[in-house]
Structure formats: C-alpha cells, structure tokens
Amino acid sequence: MSRTIIPFGPQHPVLPEPLHLKLVVEDETVVEAIPALGYVHRGLETLASIRDYNQMVYVVERVCGICSCIHAMCYCQSLECMMNVEVPRRAKVLRTIWSELHRIHSHLLWLGLFADGFGFESLFMQFWKVRERVMDINEATAGNRVVISTNIVGGVRRDLSPEHQKWILDEMNHLEREIRALMTTILDDYTVCKRTKGVGVLTAQQAIQLGAVGPMLRGSGVAQDARQLQYAAFDELDFEPIAVPDGDSWARCKVRFLEVLQSVDLVRQAISKLPDTELSVKVPGKPEGEVVARVEQPRGELMYYVKGNGSKHLERVRIRTPTFANIPPLLAIMGGLQLADVPVAVLSIDPCISCTER
C-alpha cells in the first residue's frame, strides 16, 4: 500500500496556534506523525541576559498570555526560593486566586475552541460568553484582562477589596450554574461522543512512560497534579486531582470540565482564607545559585530552571512547558487514527505553541 506525507499546519482552520505536523498516511489512516517545531521561536529566555531579574517577571508573562499569571508565579517562586524570601501569607492566597481564575478562563477558551472544531459555533460563543465573567474580574482587580502583572518577586502588587471578594463569589456562583448546563450539552451529545470516544486513546502506562502532563495525563486515569506540592496557598485548600480513566479525547474534555468546577471551588476556599497581612516583602541582595520550580498550568506541569550569579541579571532561565511535554504522547495517539479524526486528537491536548516555542 502506498504512503503519502500530508502537512498538517502550521496554518489550519481548526488550529488555534501554528502546530506543524507531517502525517504519514496509508489511504485515510495515519501511520506516523512527525513534528516540526521552531516555526515561531521568539528567544524569550535569552532576554534574561539583558533584563534584570525584576523586569523578567513581565517577560515570562509573555511566554503565554492565557496562563501568564502562572508563568510569573513560577518564576517568582524560583527566585524567592533562591534568595530565601518568605512571601506573606496574603500574597500567597492572592496568587492562588488569580492563578485559578486563569485556569478557569484557559479551560473555557479551550472548550469553546473544541466545540468550534465540531462545527458548533453557537456553543463556541456560549463558552466564551461565560469566560467573559472571568476576564471582567481580571480587568477589575488587576487592570488588564489577560496579562495581569500582579506577581512580583516577594509577593503581589495588588489586593482584593471586600467588595471585590463578594463580587467574585457571586460570579463564581453564576459560572458554576452555566458550566454545569454546558457540560451535559457537550459530553452527552451524540456527535461529540462519536467523534471523541475511543479516539486518540493514551493508556495510563503510555502516559507515564511518555511524560504526559496535565489533563493529558489525568485523562488517562493518573491522578497526578503539581498543585499537590502545596505551593502558594494550596496547603490550606481541600484539593484532590481529577482523573478520568478512559484515556481518549472525550476523557480529556471531561477532565477540563471538572477542573473548571474544581477551580471555582478553590477560588471560594481561597477567598474564605484571606489573612490580614502585608502584600509583599523587601527582597535583599541579588540572586545567586540555581533552583528548579514547579507549578501546575492549565495544560499541565510547568518547570522553571533559574540560575543566578550574584548580579541583577540572571545567568540562565530555562522553561519546560506542558505542551512540549505532551508532544510525544500526541505523536503516540496519532498512529491508527483516521485522517478526519486528527484535528480532534490534536485539539484534545490543548496545544499552546506560544508556550512551546519561546
């Protein structure tokens, strides 16, 4: 049987970002997928040599706008660990609130794109309409809708007033009702089930061996989440990783739905535990040494390796993003897929090429 190589991306109607794969197909069946990374490489890590470590907070936020707050938090935590800085408790709780709000709006963005991938444009608009509630919270509390720049080395630069806290809790109630209604609309839909159940299956053993992270890992039944490390304020919150055992595209979709509801609950818990302390502390000296920090992005575990040499400029900033970790599992689930199922399988990992090609 003859084989054909078909380019998938970097421009494709279903792709939110320019992922580029070369698909080796026999008739309509994919037998191999070959990635081509580097299409939008931006060299952000190199900026550490010409921007001081405080300015780099704003640079790392631009690695990915959708999860910018979590990038900044991971970077700040690495420096705080290196410089033995104890962040005030209120700042840790506020970081948790904003990071979970980012997780909510990231998952809602993906759910809208996933619905649009099936041709459900009205559902796409509905998910993004719900997402607007979170964007309004970001704008009201931080001054911007996406890149909010609330994290600084040593704490945070903004606070939540009692009025803001009450408003956020009201918005969380609205969010929960709307998400529960949309959840059955998607997960119980005949077309969605036919296109996702049994499609792109990744077993738990494959997920562990190939280094899958985030919903890609938990959608294969592995209950592992970097928030279990209890960074920020997660040591005070009631939290268990969400895992769905099926390992297919439907399971990964369900994990994200459930994580939105979980993040709503975590925001409520965090607001109830806001202590009355300062927002930041003065950072003494200059960073020296090397540290690895780990947090949980919406797409999975994010790692920052930071090396300081005692000056205001860092010697090295190296970032391992979740989409980069999920490329090998993506290639594994491609084999045996029908060509028409490739867009759904690719979308199911929530690819962020902005993160991957820094």
Nearest to 58 by CA among 125, 150, 186: 150
Report residue 66 as tokens. 């959708």
Reading phi first (left if > 0) and then psi (alpha if -120 to 50, else beta), residue 198 is in left
Terminal-to-terminal C-alpha distance of the chain: 40
319 is in an annotated binding site: yes
236 is in an annotated binding site: no
69 is in an annotated binding site: no
Does the bond joining 287 to the residue before it have cis omega, within 30 degrees of 0?
no
Q: Are 57 and 152 within 8 A, CB to CB?
A: yes
355 is in an annotated binding site: yes
Instruction: Count how many residues are written for the chain.
Output: 358
3-state helix, strand, coil in the chain (%, to 5): 50, 15, 35
Report residue 257 as tokens. 């739905």
Give the contacts of 323 (CB within 8 A, at least 6 positions apart). Answer: 299, 300, 349, 350, 351, 352, 353, 355, 356
Measured CA to CA in angstroms, residue 251 lies from 239, 295, 348 at distances of 20, 23, 9
Q: Are 232 and 69 within 8 A, CB to CB?
A: no
67 is in an annotated binding site: yes
Measured CA to CA in angstroms, residue 7 lies from 10, 36, 120, 326 at distances of 8, 10, 25, 20
Specify the DSSP class assigned to residue 33: E
34 is in an annotated binding site: no
**Torsion angle in degrees (nearest 10) through CA of 128, 328, 291, 91:** 20
**Residue positions forming the annotated binding site for Fe cation:** 67, 355
**Residue positions forming the annotated binding site:** 45, 64, 67, 319, 352, 355
**Residue positions forming the annotated binding site for Ni(2+):** 64, 67, 352
**Residue positions forming the annotated binding site for Mg(2+):** 45, 319
